[in-house]
Amino acid sequence: GGLARRTAGKMPALPSATEGGGLACRTAGKMPALPSATEGGGLACRTAGKMPALPSTTEGGGLGRRVACIHLLPGAGCGRLHHELEAMKTLPCISILSCWAVVAFSGAHFHLDLHAAGLGDLMTQPYLLDTGLDSRSISFENPTGARGEGGKASSKLGVGRKGTPARTMKPGETVTLCDIAGPGTIRHIWVTMPKDPELLRAAVVRAYWEGQTHPSVECPIGDLMGFAHGRVLPYQSAVHSVGENAGMNLWLPMPFAKQARFTFSHEGRSKDFPLFYQIDYTLRDQHPRGVGRLHVLFRRENPTTLKQDFELLPKRSGRGRFVGSVIGIRALEGDWWGEGEVKVYRDGDGEFPTICGTGSEDYVGLSWGIQQTPFLFNGCSLNQKGFVSMYRWHLPDPVYWEQECRITIQQIGWKDGLYERQDDWSTAAFWYEPVPSAPLPTFPELEARVSDVWRN
């Protein structure tokens, strides 16, 4: 039949395509056999004009979802799938660990297995070897990532014996971390440097996609790597992991088609410091047209404006997906600061949003005040001496927009009742949108970034 497979004994034998329709599949008894495409059944998918438009689940579908070829861990073959499904506008079906749809057509249509379609991701199916991907890595030991070019520098121990693991960064200096020709996907970035709070706000990473002259990522290194105020504390989430001595990791995938260029700038006032880094990536990834590129924006208001909600994400136009943010708060007065609600204005929302939260600590999945408790998709990694660093990752609960989006959070406290207040707020906001993309808002000057940061 259409999908001749049972899953670990949990599914009965499936009927043939002629007995059960275009997708001969039931999921653990929860879905009946589906009618054929010509009978209007439950897979809302057209394949390059070979199948008619199909109705929704309420009109006879058992699988009311359009197939997606975008997922958080892109592999080989996605572009091929997109080509096959070119006539269809797809909505991404995104999961941090696995893609939720497997499609197989036989006969006159086409057949896609997990490997060929790239739907089986690299984490849950590490045994798939014939992916077509080319594994590369860039560091000061191999700054181009070229094959056979790593570790050629000399130390006192000889050639190839830890010759250039790091570089001393001087104030005012900018170094190119990578300049990669695509297609490819950056899959992991590791950086370490002294855990000096001012340096972690003074040093800035900028990323440029597909030859754009303005950066799509522009953020202090500390906030980019998961923590506000320059305060290093060990923790991990779905997006970041931070070691006790500022071993900083970023795990979000960053697809690109033609070029990915990252720079690191020491914009501090005095100290030299050693910089170590490594960027792990793959080449030959086949991305669909319109795939989102990672964007990261840093903002800070110290203090915020009374009765004017702080923008986590200033208005962006076009399609996109909000991934989440690292939020810093420095309380400027006593009493509880966190009664303000997050509001997501998207696709034509006016005075009032579609998505509205219930409180600041509620937004990061906590309650009744803030507690230093980090979790996978939400939590707080710092709650000390009036400094808070908290985060929320919309990976299992995506926030999409088709036309425009703007996200704010209120500054409301509690003292014998609700009251408006002002505090020191910052954000590193992460989202995906296609290119060409509009420039980011003006980046804060050095003094605005480093004033009143954590003091060791």
Rounded mean pLDDT of the chain? Answer: 81
What is the pLDDT at residue 103? 33
Extended strands (E) in 227-353? 235-236, 240-242, 247-250, 254-256, 259-266, 273-283, 293-301, 310-317, 320-330, 342-346
Look up residue 173 and give its amino acid.
Answer: E
Q: pLDDT per position in the chain (456 positions), as tens?
A: 344 344 444 444 444 433 333 333 334 444 444 444 333 333 333 333 433 443 333 333 333 333 333 334 344 444 433 433 333 333 333 333 333 333 333 333 333 333 333 434 678 888 889 899 999 999 999 999 999 999 999 999 999 999 999 999 999 999 999 999 989 999 999 999 999 999 999 999 999 999 999 999 999 999 999 999 999 999 999 999 999 999 999 999 999 999 999 999 999 988 999 999 999 999 999 999 999 999 999 999 999 999 999 999 999 999 999 999 999 999 999 999 999 999 999 999 999 999 999 999 999 999 999 999 999 999 999 999 999 999 999 999 999 999 999 999 999 999 999 999 999 999 999 999 999 999 999 999 999 999 999 998
CB neighbourhood size of 54 (10 A): 23
Render the burial of 342-376: b for 16+ CB within 10 Å, e for the rest: bbbbbeebeeebeeebebbbebbbbeeebebebbe
Q: Which residues pair with 409 in a beta bridge?
A: 310, 342
Q: Dump pLDDT digits (tens) for 17-33.
A: 333 333 333 344 444 44
What is the pLDDT at residue 450? 97
Collapsed DSSP state (helix, strand, coil) of residue 276: strand
Collapsed DSSP state (helix, strand, coil) of residue 450: helix
Computed on alpha carbons and rounded to an integer, the radius of gyration of the chain in Å comes to 24
What is the pLDDT at residue 274? 97
Contact 167, 175 (CB under 8 A): yes
Report the distance separating Cα 212 and Cα 191, nearest Å: 24
Look up residue 115 and give its amino acid.
Answer: H
**H or E segment at 253?**
none
Alpha helices of 145-262 — where are they, by DSSP H?
197-202, 221-224
Q: What is the total residue count of the chain?
A: 456
What is the pLDDT at residue 177? 98
Report the distance separating Cα 386 and Cα 409, nearest Å: 19
Report the distance separating Cα 312 and Cα 7, nearest Å: 43
Contact 197, 230 (CB under 8 A): yes
Q: Dump pLDDT digits (tens) for 35-77.
A: 443 333 333 333 334 334 433 333 333 333 333 333 343 444 4
What is the pLDDT at residue 125? 86
Strands 174-181 and 259-266: antiparallel
What is the pLDDT at residue 10? 45
What is the pLDDT at residue 124? 83
Contact 183, 257 (CB under 8 A): yes
Q: Which region, left, alpha or beta, applies to residue 210 given φ > 0 means left and ψ of -120 to 50 means alpha? A: left
